Amino acid sequence: MARKKRTYHHGDLRRVLLDASIELIARRGVDELSLREVARHAGVSPAAPYHHFASKAELLGAIAIDGFGRLATAMRSARDREDAGAPIQKLRAIGEAYVRFAIEYPAHFHLMFHSTLAPVDSSADGPAAQSFAILLEAIAEVMALPEIEGRASRPGLVVLAWSLVHGAAALLLDGPLTHGLPELGIEAGAVPALVTSTFEALLSARPLPVRSTPRAGSGK
């Protein structure tokens, strides 16, 4: 049975091509993608994609940029829903939104952080910078809390928070957390909240006392 040809209104071709590309990546991976195959899947002429994308790399970059825009929206919405909450709760909501975004948009997520495949606009007002700015603002609010101030550096907390949620997302998509951890009674869907709630608990905990190192020859 012949596949029904896609239709689109004037000005929507770019979106149709992006959606077709994402569907193909989900089925076959990035390596098998070509502009000709995207055109066939979208039901347009082989030359149509070149009106919007000069190359496959440019197309993949556009998907990545689209992903960062969606990520920024998800993080911003999560933060705004916690607007009356404490800064740590806002940070937790942002982190959970990050992991859930990766689960919902795996094709985007894979391309967003592979600059060799998909070059991304790194300008200060680009989508990638906007999503990162949301994290930076949330970290700044947490760092200003009396119980947190002086306990950690801002760069260290940024790297830790980002690594935590990004690592969880990667393990869920392509690693051993894809099916959760049945032996521990953990389902994959519970991982985002589990990771972020644990991070929240660690931030809220009192710092451990620093043990002094005995001096050589002191006998203590």
Point out the residues of the chain with pLDDT beneath 70.
1-11, 206-220
Superfamily for the 60-204 domain: Tetracycline Repressor, domain 2 (1.10.357.10)
pLDDT tens digits, 29-71:
999 899 999 999 999 999 999 999 999 999 999 999 999 999 9
- pTM beyond 0.75: the answer is yes
Closest by CA to 60, choosing from 131, 121, 132, 123, is 121
Residue 199 tokens read as: 């991070």
Check residue 44 and report its DSSP letter: S
- The architecture in CATH of the region 9-54 reads Orthogonal Bundle (1.10)
Burial (CB count <10 Å: 0-12, 13-18, 19+), residue 88: buried
Give a three-class secondary structure readout of 99-140. Answer: HHHHHHCHHHHHHHCCCCCCCCCCCCCCHHHHHHHHHHHHHH
pLDDT of the residue at 33: 93
C-alpha angle 144/146/147, rounded to 5°?
115
Count of beta carbons in the 10 Å neighbourhood of residue 121: 14
pLDDT of the residue at 10: 46
The domain ranges of the chain are: 9-54, 60-204
